[in-house]
């Protein structure tokens, strides 16, 4: 499934009123919470957009205490570069517990003020590690993600963070793929929840709530199946990836640049 357009969840709220014929005023906070819930249940790659944070002059990602805070719309990590060096995951990271005296004279900003460097995302850094070849370095930088923070194995530096985010509109409402199955599944989830509240309060017949539950489950299954079906461009990219005679086992270290730019699957998540 390939998505070219996203719409505001306000469209879903209007659909709920039109489909179920509600004449009552529904709490908008409840509606937004339910939309986030059903999006989390779907968790399909097409509902997230790729983003990059951390340009050279962005103070948010110039860190001096081992860590940076994750963006509020962060969903899943794609890659991290620190001072132009590809960072790799480390499950046993403890460097953030060290104090400044322990690390004095190492990994300070002055260590990186040599020749400029532009990474594959177009961000400019100033690395000093001359042994760097592409993104592979013998002194690789490690990181870990915990408690809404990314913690690094060096105390200071500049980070470039590529990640998948849940898009939101100007009002803070979540954006959803402009797909009929998506819209209907989310609308049916909201209707099911409203009917459940009415069922608990004795204002909705149990058969009506049961019907809403069945409708939601059917549309949800259709939506999930639809998201798993690749379009013709994605199928061509999958074919090219499978029939490659010479695999590149170091694609991760280059942010999958060759795969994304040369194999026609740029939009596959």
**Segment 179-192, tens digit of pLDDT:** 888 899 999 999 99
- Same structural domain for residues 40 and 145? no
In a domain, 267, yes or no: no
Greatest mean pLDDT among 33-42, 58-67, 86-95, 112-121: 33-42
- What is the per-residue pLDDT for 227? 82
Residues of the domain holding 246: 232-262
- Considering the entire predicted model, what is its pTM? 0.63
* pLDDT at site 254: 72
Mean pLDDT of 79-95: 74
Same domain, 33 and 57: no
Domains: count for the chain:
3
Mark whether 75 and 43 lie in a shared domain: no
d(CA 135, CA 35) in angstroms, rounded, equals 39
Question: At residue 21, what are phi and psi to the nearest 5 degrees?
Answer: 70, 30
Residue at 63 is within a domain: yes
**What is the tens place of the pLDDT at every residue in 144-165?**
888 888 888 888 888 888 899 8
Q: Can you give the three-state secondary structure of 62-122, one letter per residue? A: EECCCEEECCCCEEEEEEEEECCEECEECCCCCHHHCCCCCCCCCCCHHHHCCCCEECCCC
- Does 119 share its domain with 77? yes
Question: Contact, 96 vs 147, CB < 8 A?
Answer: no
């Amino acid at each position: 499934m390939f998505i070219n357009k996203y719409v505001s969840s306000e469209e879903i709220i209007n659909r709920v009123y039109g489909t179920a014929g509600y004449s009552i005023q529904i709490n908008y906070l409840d509606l937004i919470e339910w939309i986030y819930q059903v999006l989390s249940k779907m968790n399909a790659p097409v509902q997230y957009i790729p983003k990059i944070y951390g340009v050279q002059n962005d103070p948010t990602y110039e860190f001096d205490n081992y860590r940076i805070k994750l963006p509020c719309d962060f969903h899943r990590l794609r890659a991290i570069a620190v001072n132009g060096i590809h960072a790799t995951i480390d499950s046993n990271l403890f460097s953030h517990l060290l104090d400044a005296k322990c690390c004095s004279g190492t990994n300070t900003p002055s260590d990186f003020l040599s020749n400029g460097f532009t990474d594959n995302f177009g961000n400019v850094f100033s690395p000093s590690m001359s042994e760097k070849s592409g993104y592979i370095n013998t002194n690789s930088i490690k990181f870990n993600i915990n408690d809404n923070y990314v913690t690094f194995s060096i105390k200071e530096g500049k980070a470039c963070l590529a990640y998948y985010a849940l898009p939101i509109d100007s009002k803070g409402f979540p954006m959803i793929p402009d797909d009929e199955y998506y819209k209907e599944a989310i609308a049916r989830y909201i209707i099911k929840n409203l009917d459940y509240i009415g069922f608990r309060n004795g204002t909705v017949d149990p058969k009506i709530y049961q019907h809403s539950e069945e409708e939601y489950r059917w549309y949800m299954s259709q939506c999930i199946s639809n998201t798993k079906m690749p379009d013709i461009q994605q199928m061509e990219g999958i074919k090219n990836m499978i029939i490659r005679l010479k695999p590149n086992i170091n694609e991760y270290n280059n942010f999958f640049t060759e795969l994304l730019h040369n194999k026609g699957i740029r939009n596959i998540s």
